[in-house]
Amino acid sequence: MTRRSSHYDLFAREGDYPELDIEGAVARLSSALSLRTVYETPETTDFGPFDELYELMRGSYPKIAEHGSFERIGHSVLVTIPGTDSELPCVLLLAHQDVVGVVPGTEDSWVHDPFGGHVDDEWIWGRGALDIKEMLMGELEAVELLLALHGRPRRTIVLAFGEDEEVQSHGAKALAAELERRGVRATFSLDEGVSTFSDAAAYGAPGTTISDVGLSQKGYLNLRLTVRGAGGHSSNPFGGTSLERLCTAVVSLRGALWKPSLTPVVARTFELLSSRITLDPFASLARDVTVNTDAIAEAASRSRELFPLVTTTMAVDQVFGSSPAPNVMPADASAIINFRLMPGVTDAHVLEWARGAVGDDVEVEVLHYTPAGRLDDPRGFGYDELVEVMEAYHPGAVVVPSIVCGGTDSVHYEAMCEKLLRMTPFRPEADELARGLHGVNERISRRVYAQGIRVMTALLERCAL
């Protein structure tokens, strides 16, 4: 097997759009990265940097200002470029303005100030360079370029930038509500999601590079189990302590977890890869995905990488109420379990299931819930064009549909949007992403940034003109 020397081997057509002002785009991204848009709570957030980011956006894109409008909904931002055909549903480009802070204790590990906007010959450095100011500014760059090249598009383009994706997504909810109030409909949205190429070894196709588009996202639910206990001397723990009964309840939940299942999205991935899958069990099973659905799901659940794509997961993350001494029984004991829900599984399902699995003496309550996303069709307008463009600018990478296991703002736009696409056209190397995303020395290369803008522009040319 030959090893790729660099992920830039997957880059093509970097000479397209000679009109693209790369130096200017880099400088504007650097300015955006120098603004500390960390959202904490409505009361404690310093909104000064959000105000400055808004002014930066408004002042940097003259074509957008000429043909469209910038507005603020709270501290979130809405940009509308009305198309010539108002009957067509719009293209919705999403991103968020907020970034996570610098992890305490890692300040000294940063080579450059995370909010310094440092630029060198290769890199643009700073918190948000990969999550997700590159997409926010890159979308504006692509729309500006589109307008410069073609004038007003036929289809309306709307850009919506929430203020607090990393916290509560109130901004995205307010933006979506405002768009719905105005009767805006979108044919598809593009939002952050999977942003790096990966090897399809987990699917049994080592050596095949894939690039996935999230067509749904898993739900998020925190469940608390509580077992009441009276404490007391541990010389007579008749019936078990509260902590023991809590552990038993956790084990019961684990034993009762849903069977893995193959959504149409993941089934489609196996179909698309089937001719390249060389390793069993998937090599034989993927020859007929429809017939082997259950067996594929079962096998996928035994792979670390594929496991979260085929089942609702539970992670027991916190336990409270341990006794202060080894000879004293605990009083009330509780556990918080984090579930990531498959599309179609709701909080009500989990609550009913959990109550049925644990004993009557265990209290079960939902603490926090974000529903799973709708499962969109891995075909059709927007999706097909995104695949075509990605494969043109990144030949050698097979685009496959997927499900995002973390959260994105997209889910709040479901009602107004026919299709939600979650994929970042800005494609850093996997180790850049692993280190930089919410970590240290977050940075993006000039080449990755410029190529992402080309992909966005090409997509808009296909879908908005």
Q: Contact residues for Zn ion (CB under 5 A)? A: 131-132, 192
Rounded least distance, CB 433 to Zn ion, Å: 12
At 420, list the tokens. Answer: 């939600």
AA letter at 324? P
Q: Which residues pair with 34 in a beta bridge?
A: none
Strand pairing class (186-194; 420-423): parallel
Query: Least CB distance from residue 442 to Zn ion, whole Å?
Result: 12
SS (H, E, C) 328-393: ECCCCEEEEEEEEECCCCCHHHHHHHHHHHCCCCEEEEEEEEECCCCCCCCCCCCHHHHHHHHHHH
Instruction: Using the minimum distance from each CB to Zn ion, give the nearer residue, 131 or 376.
Output: 131
Q: What is the rounded CA–CA span in Å between residue 53 and residue 303? A: 42
Structural tokens at position 94: 């999403």
**Among candidates 363, 364, 369, 353, which has minimal Cα distance to 259?**
353
Closer to Zn ion by CB, 128 or 204: give it. 128
* Residue 163 CB, nearest approach to Zn ion (Å): 12
Name the residue nearer to Zn ion (CB basis): 95 or 202. Answer: 95
CA distance 230 to 236: 12
Q: How far is the CB of 410 from Zn ion (least distance, A)?
A: 11
Which letter, b or e, does each residue of 94-128 get, where b requires 16 or more Cβ atoms within 10 Å of its Cβ?
Answer: bbbbbbbebeeeeeeebeeebbebbbeeebbbbbb
Residue 148 beta carbon to Zn ion: minimum distance, rounded to whole angstroms: 28
The smaller minimum CB distance to Zn ion, of residues 203 and 413, is found at 413
**How many Cβ atoms are within 10 Å of 463's Cβ, its own excluded?**
21
Question: What tokens were used for 374?
Answer: 């709708």
- By beta-carbon proximity to Zn ion, the closer residue of 132 and 221 is 132
Furthest CA-CA distance within the chain:
82
Of the two residues 330 and 373, which places its CB atom closer to Zn ion in the complex? 373
Contact 91, 173 (CB under 8 A): no
The amino acid present at 416, given as its one-letter code, is M
Question: Closer CB to Zn ion, residue 131 or residue 461?
Answer: 131
Smallest gap, in angstroms, from Cβ of residue 185 to Zn ion? 25
330 in helix, strand or coil? coil
Min dist CB 192 to Zn ion, Å, is 5
Kindly tell me which of 344 and 439 has the beta carbon lying closer to Zn ion: 439
CA distance 157 to 380: 19
